[in-house]
């Protein structure tokens, strides 16, 4: 068969161009495959931003709030008081729309927490080896929640991995950003990650971004199993530890939970270590304290298992309410007064409000009596856990439902 000779210059040019394009396509494919294999081998903790973690977990994405006005948003009035009081975890199913709750203090709290981190560093934020994948998975779950819940404020491109926060005017490349630093910069709430140690069978604290501790340092807790972390909790070893160990081992991915803890503070301290001079005020009564300075602090907590890493995430947000505002919340002053008066001494010491009771109890009793006089509550009602727990009757009338 005779050789084929290409004599036309234009034809030779077309063939050369075709060969060049074919070569480019082949090299691009080889480079892409090689890059994907390198990422896969060198960084097994990468989590693709295209994964729908909520579908994977079986917990739906939150209802969208397209008209959400951050400046007007009020925190929901959590009042997690129960009577008769029993020392239990008081768990309930998570209201999935409210996993992360933004409100008007957003700017202030984000800046406050970043200042606390600059001062206290690894007492606020740390990630121990082996927890990187869980931290990254959590970051993407938060990204997906924020963009679904507040679509006019947060934006994410799953192809490029770029996240935009229009509240703060900031952008982040989620392919390179440190996961817990991202959470610190964008969400004024605490996240603590525990992972099971297969050798001991216990869950250990492996990573955290937490800037709302009172009376203890997170640095002292890192790496420890949960039962050691909870040792200071009154009656934990006797009443709670056995059931909680079983609970953590069996906790399903599709059933996140919520609960609330409470205390009272002079002012609104978000973060206070035991060696801070201000913490010494918890040990003495101030006769000159004004009730206007006393606040109810509620730490609303959620707990969920991540679908890929199987890590468990503790999530906290602190809310402060001046005690004087409780006088207009039906049944609440009498209920709190009953709980405080019936508390055991070890509960009082742990909650850290005994230095305030000389002002707090008379005020609550006066508010309760005034509510009867005003007809907000019936005279002689039997104090008990409210049907609206963890809220109170009529609370929705004070809520800015326009944001819904």
Range 103-124 average pLDDT: 97
Q: What are phi and psi of 380, to 5 degrees?
A: 75, 15
Query: Would you say residue 204 has pLDDT above 70?
Result: yes
Task: Report pLDDT digits (tens) over 345-385.
Answer: 878 877 878 889 999 999 999 999 999 999 999 999 999 99
Query: Would you say residue 3 has pLDDT above 90?
Result: no
Range 85-111 average pLDDT: 90
| CA-based nearest residue to 356, from 266, 242, 231 | 266
Give the contacts of 162 (CB within 8 A, at least 6 positions apart).
156, 171, 172, 173, 174
Higher model confidence: residue 163 or residue 91? 163
Q: How confident is the model at residue 233 (pLDDT cuts 50, 70, 90)?
A: confident
Record the tokens describing residue 348, joined without a space. Answer: 């009082």
Range 53-61 average pLDDT: 95
Give the contacts of 160 (CB within 8 A, at least 6 positions apart).
173
Range 71-76 average pLDDT: 94
3-state secondary structure of 211: coil
Q: What percent of the chain has pLDDT over 70?
A: 83
pTM: 0.85
Looking at 191-195, 252-256, 275-279, which range is the least confident one?
Answer: 275-279
The radius of gyration of the chain's CA atoms, rounded to the nearest angstrom, is: 27
**What pLDDT was estimated at residue 158?**
93
Q: Are 101 and 75 in contact (CB under 8 A)?
A: yes
3-state secondary structure of 333: helix
Higher model confidence: residue 272 or residue 10? 272
**What pLDDT was estimated at residue 352?**
77
Mean pLDDT computed over every residue of the chain: 87
Angle at 115 (CA atoms; ends 114, 117), nearest 5 degrees: 65
**What pLDDT was estimated at residue 40?**
38
Q: How confident is the model at residue 209 (pLDDT cuts 50, 70, 90)?
A: very high
Helix runs in 217-356, H state only: 226-229, 241-250, 332-341, 345-351
Query: Would you say residue 124 has pLDDT above 90?
Result: yes
Q: How confident is the model at residue 404 (pLDDT cuts 50, 70, 90)?
A: very low
């Amino acid at each position: 068969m005779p050789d084929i000779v290409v004599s036309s210059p234009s034809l030779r040019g077309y063939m050369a161009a075709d060969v060049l394009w074919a070569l480019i396509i082949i090299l691009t494919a080889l480079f892409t495959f090689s890059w994907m294999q390198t990422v896969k081998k060198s960084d097994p903790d990468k989590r693709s931003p295209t994964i729908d973690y909520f579908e994977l977990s079986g917990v739906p994405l939150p209802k969208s709030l397209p008209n959400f006005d951050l400046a007007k948003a009020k925190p929901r009035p959590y009042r997690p008081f129960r009577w008769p009081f029993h020392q239990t975890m008081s768990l309930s199913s998570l209201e999935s729309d409210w996993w992360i709750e933004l409100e008007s203090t957003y700017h202030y709290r984000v800046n406050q927490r970043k200042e606390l981190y600059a001062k206290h560093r690894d007492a606020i934020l740390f990630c121990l080896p082996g927890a990187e994948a869980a931290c990254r998975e959590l970051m993407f779950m938060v990204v997906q929640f924020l963009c679904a819940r507040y679509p006019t404020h947060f934006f994410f491109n799953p192809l490029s991995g770029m996240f935009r926060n229009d509240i703060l005017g900031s952008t982040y490349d989620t392919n390179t950003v440190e996961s817990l630093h991202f959470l610190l910069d964008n969400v004024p709430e605490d996240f603590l990650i525990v992972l099971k140690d297969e050798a001991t069978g216990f869950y250990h604290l492996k990573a955290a971004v937490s800037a709302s501790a009172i009376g203890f340092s997170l640095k002292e807790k890192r790496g420890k199993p949960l039962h050691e972390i909870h040792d200071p909790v009154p009656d934990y070893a006797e009443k709670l530890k056995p059931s909680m160990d079983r609970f953590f081992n069996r906790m399903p991915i599709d059933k996140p939970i919520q609960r609330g803890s409470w205390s009272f503070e002079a002012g609104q301290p978000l973060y206070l270590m035991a060696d801070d001079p201000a913490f010494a005020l918890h040990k003495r009564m101030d006769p000159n304290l004004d009730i206007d300075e006393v606040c109810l602090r509620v730490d609303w907590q959620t707990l969920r298992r991540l679908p890929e890493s199987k890590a468990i995430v503790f999530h906290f947000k602190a809310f402060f309410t001046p005690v004087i505002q409780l006088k207009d919340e039906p049944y609440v002053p009498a209920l709190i007064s009953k709980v405080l008066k019936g508390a055991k001494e070890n509960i009082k010491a742990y909650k850290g409000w005994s230095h305030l009771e000389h002002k707090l109890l008379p005020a609550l009793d006066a508010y309760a009596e005034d509510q009867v006089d005003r007809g907000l509550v019936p005279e002689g009602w039997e104090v008990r856990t409210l049907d609206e727990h963890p809220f109170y009757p009529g609370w929705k009338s004070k809520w800015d439902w326009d944001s819904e």
